[in-house]
């Protein structure tokens, strides 16, 4: 991954415990990951699970006892700050890019991840990651990802601001994602993270007023400053674009959503490899 795209993760590593849903997965999201990955993991007496990232809510799920877990993350800062081995099954972590993982072909039974596509800087990187995961998956394997997608019909920043100031947004992290997605309407769906911060500053110049109107703690609102001036780029494509980008290697077999605020933009998707069953 590009060096500039590591910048925001240094800040996130320092404040991870202040980040909430939907940026961090809920128990409901974890249950969906477990359910959708279960068939592929049940095919092997000693199944190997690839976790893309070190998200604790994914790593620490109640994976079956016959599973060995390997997490791969591009950010050493996130590994140092967030990684914790699973409490009951063998687990390890490697620093590497998802576009080029130090794994042998056909060596993984299932791959899972939370929001990992969004941190890729371009849609071309989506295709590279899908190809790389397809390479390392064994026949009968699966890829299960919670994806952050923008709606087919976008919303205006004015409507987002109105909802926030009227107390109609449940959490600051929901607001942050809604602000970000107003910037993703271009064909490449790229959103410079610094632009999210700049737009937030423009439309919410008084953080104290926002905290009072929305009922949020000021220190939670201030987590937006992790985005200030960094060179990181996020991507928020529509679901059909994700389906198209995966199509050389995977078909989308199932899409499930939780019931929390903004869950419809955070679906858990089961990708089935083409030609490896």
Give the three-state DSSP class for 79: helix
| 156-161 mean pLDDT | 97
Determine which helix (DSSP H) or strand (DSSP E) holds 70, and give its type and residue range: strand 67-73
Structural domains in the chain, CATH included, are 3-149+237-273 (3.40.50.150), 157-235 (no CATH)
2 confidence band (pLDDT: 50, 70, 90): very low
Average pLDDT estimate for 218-238: 91
Asked if the model's pLDDT at residue 188 lies above 90, the reply is no
Taking the C-alpha atoms of residue 226 and residue 155, their distance in angstroms, rounded to an integer, is 24
Q: What is residue 214's predicted lDDT score, i.e. its pLDDT?
A: 94
Question: For all residues of the chain together, what is the average pLDDT?
Answer: 91
Q: Whole-prediction pTM value?
A: 0.91
Place of tokens 């926002």: 210
Beta strands 268-273 and 137-146, pairing class: antiparallel
Spatial separation of the C-alpha atoms in residues 224 and 216, rounded to whole Å: 13
- pLDDT for 1 equals 45
- pLDDT-based confidence at residue 19 (cuts at 50, 70, 90): low
Name the residue among 97, 74, 71 with its Cα closest to residue 84. Answer: 71
* CB 250 within 8 Å of CB 272: yes
Q: How would residue 3 be classed by pLDDT, with cut points 50, 70 and 90?
A: very low
Among 52, 57, 58, smallest CA distance to 99 is for 52
Quick one: average pLDDT of 233-256? 96
pLDDT at 11 over 80: no
Write the DSSP symbol of residue 111: E
- Given this model, what pLDDT does residue 253 score? 97
Each residue's pLDDT tens digit, 61-70: 999 999 999 9
Does position 170 have pLDDT exceeding 90, yes or no? Answer: yes
Residue 191, SS3 per DSSP: strand
CA distance 160 to 171: 13
**Can you tell me the distance from the alpha carbon of 249 to that of 133, in angstroms, rounded to the nearest whole number?**
9
Q: Which residues contact 226 (CB under 8 A, 6 or more apart)?
A: 8, 11, 12, 15
Q: How many whole angstroms separate alpha carbon 105 and alpha carbon 62?
A: 26
Strand partners, 67: 47
pLDDT at residue 27, rounded to an integer: 95
């Amino acid at each position: 991954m590009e060096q500039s795209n590591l910048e925001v993760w240094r800040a996130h590593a320092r404040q991870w415990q202040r980040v909430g849903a939907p940026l961090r997965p809920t128990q409901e999201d974890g249950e969906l990951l477990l359910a959708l990955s279960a068939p592929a993991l049940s095919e092997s007496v000693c199944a190997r699970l690839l976790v893309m990232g070190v998200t604790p809510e994914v790593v620490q799920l109640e994976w079956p006892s016959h599973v060995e877990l390997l997490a791969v993350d591009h950010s050493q800062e996130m590994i140092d700050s967030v990684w914790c081995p699973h409490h009951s099954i063998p687990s390890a972590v490697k620093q590497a890019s998802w576009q080029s993982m130090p794994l042998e072909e056909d060596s993984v039974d299932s791959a899972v991840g939370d929001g990992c596509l969004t941190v890729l800087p371009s849609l071309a990187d989506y295709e590279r990651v899908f190809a790389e995961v397809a390479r390392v998956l064994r026949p009968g394997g699966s890829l299960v990802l919670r994806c952050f997608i923008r709606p087919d019909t976008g919303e205006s920043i004015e409507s987002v601001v109105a909802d926030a100031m009227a107390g109609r947004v449940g959490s600051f992290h929901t607001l942050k994602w809604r602000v970000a997605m107003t910037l993703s309407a271009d064909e490449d769906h790229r959103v410079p993270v610094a632009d999210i911060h700049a737009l937030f500053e423009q439309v919410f110049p008084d953080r104290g007023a926002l905290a009072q109107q929305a009922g949020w703690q000021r220190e939670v609102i201030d987590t937006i400053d992790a985005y200030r001036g960094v060179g990181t780029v996020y991507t928020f494509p529509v679901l059909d674009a994700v389906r198209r980008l995966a199509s050389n290697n995977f078909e989308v077999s199932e899409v499930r959503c939780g019931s929390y605020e903004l869950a419809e933009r955070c679906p858990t998707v089961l990708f089935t490899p083409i030609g490896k069953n």
